[in-house]
Amino acid sequence: MIKKIIGFFLAMLVSLPLASCAAPPPTLVRELSADGHLKVSVEAEAVVLEQGGAYLVTTTYRGKELVKLLGVEEIYKTELTHERPIIGKEEIVIEILDPDLVVPDDISVPNWTYEVYGNPALISPVYVKADPINLVIDLPMSLVDHEFEDEGWGSSPNWNILSAKVNYILYEGSMIPQAKNYFLDSDCSERYHVRVWRCGDVLVGQAHIDTGLPHSAYAYEKAENMAVRAFSLHITRRNCIWLSNKCKDHKGYTNNGWASYITTYKYYL
Ligand SMILES: [Ca+2]
């Protein structure tokens, strides 16, 4: 009996340090921001396949942090363009929407747009934070079409996924694809680009100047002002809705965090 009791205590002593070693090793330190974004260091690479005057651009993000966070070595997206894209490889930090985020449903206007990346091993796509929302438009889409067209902007309906210009917003717990694209040629072969989403009773927009592929939107404030100018017959308020999305684009221009508001014709007052 005494031997059994001594054996029991010896077994306990041996098992204690083993039990403490069984704790899972530390994984990626998740730097989760207040709005549910994770910062991830990646290597970004764009590869181009040219065919018949069109360019198929595959942008891939790779890195150890993606392995730890998502269980895959890379995520990627494919885009089709008719403009010769800029290609290359660079180390960057991206922000992705936390896949485990419990999405709040009390936000009336979203404040960021997202690009979608995929990998066959993933159940869900990865949403990478793209650009700040900077327009809130309280008008029917048909009237937005009309006013942009009157000012010389071109438009296109929603694109299929290979055509690539589809970005998303997070609204009431779902990722919503954009409804329309509007374009206006700028100087130096650049163009103004406004993406628009339906968002409950209003539309929201993201205006920027586009330098081509891979993703290179910049000058959000300048493009926001240019978009508002297309609505000169309407009541507009520049930079009046705080969306907490102040940031700098890759050329160093600041987005001030305030969206402009566009609503009914002036003569309705
Ligand atoms: Ca603004």
In a structure prediction context, what are the per-residue pLDDT tens digits for the chain, which is 269 residues long?
A: 445 544 444 444 434 444 444 444 444 455 666 677 889 999 999 888 888 878 888 999 999 999 998 899 999 998 877 777 777 789 999 999 887 765 544 457 899 999 999 999 998 899 999 999 999 999 999 999 999 999 999 887 655 434 546 899 998 888 999 988 898 988 767 889 999 999 988 999 999 998 765 557 899 999 999 999 999 999 999 998 999 999 999 889 999 999 999 999 987 55
Where is 265: in which H helix or E strand?
strand 258-265
Alpha carbon of 71 to ligand 1 centroid (Å): 37
Whether 179 and 196 have beta carbons less than 8 Å apart is answered as: yes
Alpha carbon of 260 to ligand 1 centroid (Å): 6
Residue 35 DSSP class = T
At 206, the amino acid letter reads Q
pLDDT for the residue 20: 41
Strand order in the sheet with 37-51: 74-81, 54-62, 37-51, 88-97, 126-132, 112-117, 168-171, 174-177
pLDDT for the residue 21: 44
Alpha carbon of 29 to ligand 1 centroid (Å): 33
* DSSP β-bridge partners for residue 60: 45, 76
At 47, the amino acid letter reads V
* DSSP β-bridge partners for residue 207: 194
pLDDT for the residue 267: 76
C-alpha–C-alpha distance, residues 159 and 167, integer Å: 10
Alpha carbon of 229 to ligand 1 centroid (Å): 14
Alpha carbon of 220 to ligand 1 centroid (Å): 7
How far apart, in Å, do the first and last CA atoms of the chain sit?
97
pLDDT for the residue 214: 57
Query: Which tokens sit at 185?
Result: 């040629």
Alpha carbon of 87 to ligand 1 centroid (Å): 30
Alpha carbon of 261 to ligand 1 centroid (Å): 10
Whether 254 and 218 have beta carbons less than 8 Å apart is answered as: no
The domain locations on the chain are 37-117, 132-268
pLDDT for the residue 32: 66
Alpha carbon of 189 to ligand 1 centroid (Å): 24
pTM listed for this prediction: 0.79
C-alpha–C-alpha distance, residues 118 and 161, integer Å: 12
Alpha carbon of 248 to ligand 1 centroid (Å): 12
Alpha carbon of 216 to ligand 1 centroid (Å): 18
